[in-house]
Amino acid sequence: MESQCDKSNDVKDTGGYLGYSDTYGGYMGGQAELLRVPYGNFVPFVVPEDAELEDEQILFLSDIMPTAYWGVDNGGVKKGDTVVVLGCGPVGLLAQKFAWKKGAKRVIAIDHVDYRLKHAKKCNHVETYNFEAVDDLDQYLLELTKGGADVVIDCVGLEAKRTPIEKVETTLKLQGGSLGAFNMAANIVRKFGTISVVGVYGLTYNMFPFGHLFERNITLKMGLAPVIHYMPKLFEWIQSGEMDATDIITHRLPITEVAHAYQIFDNKDDQCIKVVLKP
Ligand SMILES: NC(=O)c1ccc[n+]([C@@H]2O[C@H](COP(=O)([O-])OP(=O)(O)OC[C@H]3O[C@@H](n4cnc5c(N)ncnc54)[C@H](O)[C@@H]3O)[C@@H](O)[C@H]2O)c1
């Protein structure tokens, strides 16, 4: 389970990650034409020569596909479950696909960006709700699901829309970012249900709804995805055609346009969901 590797992070006791500066081992960048790959004897997954797959079909094996699957698997989604996925970014959209694959009977997706919700409905055939457009969506979902979701998968994390207080507290480093998505997960999971947190959160939080989780017997699961661990299984599904993530690609750009690519992803311009950079 390499995401908790003991050796690759000299800075603190987690695994090492490319592109997270000092927090996860100080490995610079992940998006360059060339880069030095630490532990290069372990990290690569060999795609057989005769696989007859396009690069784009296997590209997402390197992060978001195993991450999304991890969220579903770690959340224990099983046949007949009602699953709510918070977030319709690349990770959330793939988590929705995997929730169906695990046998969920109902998959509900939440976001506040309409074009992403539309994509979720069209490509993943999920029920969708815009949390800014429905009054008291938490209560509505509790009623809709007759007591809450079996599993809620938080594919949002600290970048969720911040309240004014969270903005101030985050600036003062009293708060590790927004708890908006997590609070929603806590409110809409059923008693004895599970929250699986995939979205990345900051270190410290005030007003964490601890008692609300405790008194309703909620299981909380989370963490950095052990991506390499899941690659062989997911590769099989790609090869057999059981899983195809390419519908999330909205833009293909040369690496020279990387700044523009980040901008449209960040601002959610031009209906951007996922950009593939071509070296
Ligand atoms: N755990 C891991 O190992 C791992 C690996 C890769 C990515 N991630 C994390 O997964 C998360 C999702 O990644 P992504 O690429 O899909 O990001 P993204 O920013 O494209 O998607 C997040 C989506 O959540 C929506 N959103 C914002 N506030 C919300 C709320 N309160 N409720 C519901 N939806 C809300 C946004 O509009 C956006 O569409 C990020 O936090 C990313 O860092 C985790």
pLDDT digit string, tens, across residues 147-186? 999 999 999 998 887 888 888 888 887 888 889 999 999 9
Paired with 110 in beta bridges are: 86, 129
Task: Give the pLDDT score at 222.
Answer: 97
The model's confidence at residue 17, banded by pLDDT at 50, 70 and 90, is confident
Distance 103 CA to ligand 1 centre (A): 23
pTM: 0.96
Pair (14, 109) in one structural domain? no
| Residues 78 and 157 occupy one common structural domain | yes
Residue 153: the pLDDT is: 98
Number of structural domains found in the chain: 3
- Position in ligand 1 atom list of the atom nearest CA 197: 1
| CA-225 nearest atom, ligand 1 | 3
Average pLDDT of span 119-131:
98
> Taking the alpha carbons of 263, 264, 267, 273 in that order, is the dihedral positive or negative?
negative
The answer on pLDDT for 34 being more than 80 is no
Q: What is the dihedral of CA 36, 41, 42, 48, to 10 degrees?
A: 100
CA 200–ligand 1 middle distance (angstroms): 8
My answer on whether 137 and 203 are in the same domain is yes
Q: Closest residue (by CA) to atom 2 of ligand 1?
A: 224
Residues 40, 71 within the same domain = no
Residues 118 and 166 in one domain: yes
180 CB near ligand 1 (under 6 Å) = yes
- Answer for the pair 108, 138: CB distance below 8 angstroms, yes or no: no
120 vs 78: CA distance, rounded Å: 21
Q: Do residue 254 and residue 207 come from a single domain?
A: no
d(CA 218, CA 229): 27
Question: 40 and 65: one domain?
Answer: no
Predicted pLDDT at 181 = 96
Residues 91 and 217 in one domain: yes
Q: Give yes or no: residues 205 and 77 share one domain.
A: yes
Return d(Cα 51, Cα 20) in angstroms, integer. Answer: 32
From the CA of 255, how far away is ligand 1's center (Å)? 23
Q: Is 161 in the pocket of ligand 1 (CB under 6 A)?
A: yes
